[in-house]
A and B are shown apart, each in its own frame.
Chain A
Amino acid sequence: MDGMITVKGRSLGRFLEVLSSKRSIQGLIYACAGIFFFALILFPPILGILLKWNLIGQIFENPALMARATSAIYASFTIALFVSIIDIIAGLPMAWFIWRGKSKWLDALDTLADIPFIVPTVALGFSIRLFWSDKTQGMSSLFGTSLVSPGWLLVILLHFVFSYPAVVRVMVGALFDYKRTYEEASRTLGAAPVTADRTVTFPILKPSFIAAFTLAFARSISETGATVIVAGTFENGPVLLNNLKTTQEPGYESALVFVSFILIAVACIIYAIIRIFGPKLKLPIRKVWPVAERKLSGQGLTNLRNTSTLLVFFVLILIPSLFVALPMANAILDGTLNQALSSTGIWQGYWQSLSLSYGIAFVATLLNTVTGLPMAVLIARKRFGMLPSTILDVLINIPMIVPSIALGVSLSIFWSNFPFIPEVGLLIFAHLAITYPYFVRSMSAAIERVNMDLEEASKTLGAKPFTVFRTIILPLTKYSLFAGAIMMFTRSVSETGATVAVITELKTVPVLLVEWVMDVVSATPMEIGLGCGFLIILSFVILLISRGTVRGRY
């Protein structure tokens, strides 16, 4: 019996091998991946807005709405710019600290830095609002008054919290790839540590700085759910779009299209500018101040830098993001947990939303993994030449850099032309578009790192293209594959902006939690805390399972 199965398995493998060596089949696979990308990921968010182009004019007849829209757009970009700069300033020393450190507990620190990454942003938003603003429970209860009321400052704090881990992650990765010989060479030539970092290490790491900055910027521009929770009366682009959608005041459609268009256009322009001028940006390395920089390299200042880095991390990032554990713990004690588990009251809707969220995340992850892999190969191996690969590489990023709610608005306009598509279909399309870049980017980078020699060696030993992929590329990029899939999954679970924009009836769990926090549905802090808690715990479980699956194997 076993033999039969093996033979069958083998013959299937053989069949795929033979297929894979046919150019026409290869072309078909790439074509399918390309059609999927253009038809489902890229075009709907761009075309949707253009379909309602005629509505844009109306907003110019409504000066009050226009003023609101422009100030919200302005707020979005200033906050994103400010937060990204702060992220680099605070994240770099942290990444440095993790890289240089020798003790074992730095591994723990490294993992801790990832926490705000996997906690869904809505839970982060609630946690942070609780910590800084709630007079009865948070830090503020010590002072009897809100330390930071919901508003622009709290939005900045929130955006800092969720974009910081991304920056640290990118910078740590870059530092571990960096050859320290350059720094050593600089030191032997007489440069003090600070001088060596400034004139040699930083310029060499510049592409990673730019990548980290872009990522932080995109996340800040895009985030909706948590921002709504902490914004109060303050409005940035996504919050305005969300408010318009909820209140449906006169002329809102025109404002919706206008703001979405501007956000998408400006985000694309900024991305293009970074992409074109980033590599040309020269860091100032000509001038050197030996005495001052030598003083800056001193042990005292280094210690001060490390201490303040850790202080910022714990006080501004870690404790506020984990503060939700407090009402969560209360919920276990005061019986809320029992209610939740017996699915009474508001909990019935919660469990429904939770299954919807995870179901959609699963489908989106699966589809994007299957269709994203050939795309990643295409980009990494430049199968159709340099220029098409570069263009694809740029296009892939668009769904990530445009604000997700704007993308959602545009997407729902586009798909409303196909009324036979059920709402859950729209939800999946939105999540596909939002998460796609996260996977393809990390995967194509990983494939690019696999030495071509290995692939060629495998071919000279008689492997067909499919076998090369299965035995060489896949095992060597497995970690990135899992990491990419996890990133997609968690991103999908916490996605709020695009979701809000496309739904009318269905509610994913972040949308539901936003309603609880914003008192659309009345819920106690314990209930909200527990609602967030389940989400966080599930994210952790998924993270642990995936780490366990990948660990120790190449």
Chain B
Amino acid sequence: MPEVRIENVTKKYGKIVAVDNVSLHVRDKEYFSLIGPSGCGKTTLLRLIAGLVQPTEGEIFIENKSVTHTPPEDREIGFVFQTYALFPHMNVWNNVIYGPRVKAWDKEKSNRIGDEMLEMVLLRERLDAYPRELSGGMMQRVALARALAAGAKLLLLDEPLGALDAKIRFELRYDVRKLVKDLGLTAIHVTHDQSEAMAISDRIAVMKKGKILQVGTPLELYMKPQHIFVANFIGESNFLEGYVSKVDKKEITIELRGDILVQALDHSRKKGEKVAVAVRPEVLMIEKGKKRKENAIFGKIERRRFEGTDIRYEIRLENEDLVVAVRPALINEWLDVQEKVTVSFPIEKTLVFTYPKKGLKEELALE
């Protein structure tokens, strides 16, 4: 059964550490995504699993067998490249049955698999076409069919939808997931698009600077980010700087700038600790006018943007901090710029992180 285990793998290029002591377990039949900003090492990690590059240190197991020194052709994987890498001198059919052919399967079996795969990706009619004659979406489907025709149970996808138009990308991502699930495969999918990863993955690993920060289901990453970078990379967060002023049995109190107090449910903090309070734009409540409430701050709407589905408010709080709140555009009444509002922080959805040593900006930077 194709489960993948990565143990303490490091990959260095000269002095540059692309993958830094990473351990990871991808379960059998799981749809797993690796996400992170560009240059975070996610593609290198995928190429390590494929055997296209060799780790500097550490071991990689597929189906409980060490494949650290196994060349890619013997790893029984399917790899879909970002640029598809369809062989330009072969037509669709020859591309798809390339795997069976180089493995010298008998002709009848090869042809049957080729037929099935092209049927599956709905390209039976185009088997004589050359890659240059296909659209991006078609090329992507051929690349997928080719990877699967070689009999792989482990599918590695490197930004497989990255080169497509937004609409097609949106449709194809569900197709890819369905295919993987229908065939009972294990898939590892690299993307920088967090919404894509959230939509199709069973679990996701968030990477930054060669390290894995957190592994979890999309909901876990969204609701309980364990790292301040994850809180910002998955979805979006407002961050406010403050100190823990009081630790109670149930909740803690944080003093923000301008002596404003907010409460959160977090028991791991000490009194006096410098923290960053994180709250997502979509959970902030806003009401017209000044209303005295628990966990609420007064503010004024500074800017309003209509973004299609949502409306986005930038609110200057009375302590001069700026927060963003998002509301479904067509359900709620729109508030006007300069309007005075009350912003409340739902206590159970307000997260607290240790304030990063290097500063917030540096810690959240994507590059």
Contacts and interface: CB of A to CB of B under 8 A. Distances in A.
Contacts of B102: 186, 189-192, 195, 199, 288, 290
B52 A187 contact: yes
Contacts of B156: 188
A204 to B, nearest CB: 6
Nearest to B52: A184
Interface string A200-240: 10011010000000000000000000000000000000000
A189 B104 contact: no
Contact of A185 (B51, B74, B81, B89): B81
A186 B78 CA distance: 10
A289 B88 CA distance: 22
A181 B150 CA distance: 17
B85 A182 contact: yes
A187 B89 contact: no
Interface in B94-137: 98-99, 101-104
Nearest to B104: A290
Contacts of A206: 89
Given A187-B52, A288-B104, A182 B78 contact: no
Contacts of B101: 286, 288
A286 to B, nearest CB: 8
Contacts of A192: 71, 73, 102
A204 B98 contact: no
Interface in B31-50: 50
Contacts of A189: 73, 78, 98-99, 102, 146-147, 150
Contact of B50 (A188, A199, A204, A288): A188
Contacts of A184: 50, 52, 72, 79, 81, 85
B222 interface: no
Interface in A168-196: 179, 181-182, 184-193, 195-196
Nearest to B53: A184
B153 to A, nearest CB: 13
Interface in B218-277: none
A290 B85 contact: no
A223 B157 CA distance: 53
Interface string B141-161: 000001100100000100000
Contacts of B146: 185, 189
B83 interface: yes
Interface string B65-86: 0000001111101110101010
Nearest to A293: B102
Nearest to B76: A190
Q: Tell which of B73, B89, B98, B146 has the most Cβ of chain A within 10 Å.
A: B73
A488 to B, nearest CB: 34
B162 to A, nearest CB: 14
Nearest to A290: B104
Given A195-B102, A290-B102, A188 B87 contact: no
A507 to B, nearest CB: 51
B89 A181 contact: no
Contacts, number: 77
B304 to A, nearest CB: 35
A184 B72 CA distance: 8
Contacts of B74: 190
A190 B103 contact: yes
A185 B82 CA distance: 11
A204 B88 contact: yes
Contacts of B90: 285
Contact of A188 (B78, B83, B104): B78
Contacts of B85: 179, 181-182, 184-185
A204 B150 CA distance: 22
Interface in B280-331: none
Nearest to B89: A203
Given A204-B89, A290-B102, A290-B104, A187 B73 contact: yes
Contacts of B104: 288-290
B87 A200 contact: yes
Contacts of A187: 51-52, 71-73
Given A184-B81, A186-B98, A288-B101, A191 B89 contact: no
B279 to A, nearest CB: 43
A245 B72 CA distance: 63
Contacts of A285: 90
B103 A290 contact: yes
A39 to B, nearest CB: 41
Contacts of A203: 87, 89
A190 B73 contact: yes
B87 A191 contact: no
Nearest to A199: B102
Given A190-B103, A191-B102, A195-B102, A185 B77 contact: no
B71 A190 contact: no
A358 B20 CA distance: 59
Nearest to B151: A190
A182 B87 contact: yes
A185 B73 contact: no
A188 B103 contact: no
A71 B75 CA distance: 58
A206 B146 CA distance: 24
A101 B235 CA distance: 44
Q: Tell which of A190, A195, A204, A290 has the most Cβ of chain B within 10 Å.
A: A190
A2 B85 CA distance: 57
B141 to A, nearest CB: 15
Q: Tell which of B52, B73, B102, B150 has the most Cβ of chain A within 10 Å.
A: B102
A174 to B, nearest CB: 15
A204 B86 CA distance: 12
B72 to A, nearest CB: 4
B58 to A, nearest CB: 21
A290 B105 CA distance: 10
Contacts of B87: 182, 185-186, 200, 203-204
Nearest to A188: B79
Contacts of A199: 98, 102
A196 B101 CA distance: 12
Nearest to A287: B101
A196 B89 CA distance: 13
A195 B98 CA distance: 11
Given A186-B98, A200-B87, A288-B101, A191 B73 contact: yes
Contacts of A290: 102-104
A206 B89 CA distance: 10
Contacts of B99: 189-190
A332 to B, nearest CB: 44
A286 B102 CA distance: 9
A188 B101 CA distance: 13
A190 B150 contact: yes
A207 B134 CA distance: 23
B46 to A, nearest CB: 11
A299 B340 CA distance: 74
Given A188-B73, A188-B78, A188-B147, A181 B83 contact: yes
A192 B73 CA distance: 6
A181 B71 CA distance: 15
B80 to A, nearest CB: 9
B114 to A, nearest CB: 13
A290 to B, nearest CB: 5
Contacts of B98: 186, 189, 191, 199
A188 B52 contact: yes
Nearest to B81: A181
Nearest to B149: A189
Contacts of A286: 101
Given A189-B146, A189-B147, A190-B103, 17 more contacts: A184-B50, A184-B72, A185-B79, A185-B146, A187-B51, A187-B52, A188-B72, A188-B77, A189-B98, A189-B99, A189-B150, A190-B99, A204-B88, A285-B90, A288-B102, A290-B103, A290-B104
10 contacts: A179-B83, A184-B52, A185-B87, A185-B146, A186-B87, A186-B102, A190-B150, A204-B87, A288-B102, A288-B104
Sorted nearest first, the 3 A-B pairs with minimum C-beta distance are A188-B79, A185-B85, A189-B99
